[in-house]
Structure 1
Amino acid sequence: MKKKQDRIFSILNSKSIPYEVVDIAQCVASKDLMREMAGNPTALPPQICNGDTYCGDFDSFEAAIEAEQLEEFLKI
């Protein structure tokens, strides 16, 4: 999980895309919200959202990078 998070941070930093990290280990409500937004009661981090809009999981993020559609994936 840490490697996936670092990969996301690295890509977002390289493209100067601002982001906020939410540590679900510190707050059960944050974990519940992440799973609700993902529409999956067993979703695991990292999950990516743009505000209140769910974008996808790590695999979807990687697919968007490969397809050169990161901005569309992130809804920016």
Structure 2
Amino acid sequence: MVIKVFLATSSGSTAIKKKQQDVVGFLEALKVDYTQLDIACNEENRKWMRQNVPEEKKPSNGIPLPPQIFNEESYCGDYETFFDAKEDNSVYAFLGLAPPPGSKGEEEEEYLEETQEEEA
């Protein structure tokens, strides 16, 4: 599975640039395999991204801004949901990936599974 991060390499917005750098930098720090897809220079990427962001996740103007994150064809979220996942230490779950062995995410996942089993 490959994580796809849709970016605008020639964005005039410093806020968008910072958000994009934050996402890419964090994925690199976690050593997550991802692909950057430019929507500024590639019309196909832009169309695909806009068509595949779920309707309820689109802003009121209907045009989702980068960065947008997908796991293959599955929508993960935008910067805000990525940031929330980062704050909650649930980035692997957000991305739909299994946490690497020994990581904090793996311990969290095991704990959640154990508590769900105890409740059942």
TM-score (norm 2): 0.60
Deviation >3 Å, runs of 4+ = none
* Aligned match of 1:27: 42
Question: How far 1:27 moved relative to its partner?
Answer: 1.5
Mark the structure with the bigger radius of gyration.
2
SS of residue in 2 equivalent to 1:54 = strand
Q: CA separation in 2, counterparts of 1:36 and 1:71?
A: 24
- Higher RCO (Cα < 8 Å, 6 or more apart): 2
TM-score (norm 1): 0.93
* Aligned match of 2:64: 43
Question: How far 1:19 moved relative to its partner?
Answer: 0.6
Q: CA separation in 2, counterparts of 1:66 and 1:4?
A: 15
- Residues 21-69 of structure 1: CA distance to partner in whole angstroms, max 9, x if unpaired? 0000112221111011112341111100011111000000000001111
The one of 45, 63, 73 equivalent to 2:84 is: 63
* Aligned match of 1:14: 29
* Aligned match of 1:2: 17
Larger deviation, residues 19-28 vs 36-45: 36-45
Gaps of 5+ in 1: none
2:43 is matched by which residue type in structure 1? Answer: V
Cα RMSD for the two superposed structures:
1.0
SS of residue in 2 equivalent to 1:68 = coil
- How many residues are paired up? 76
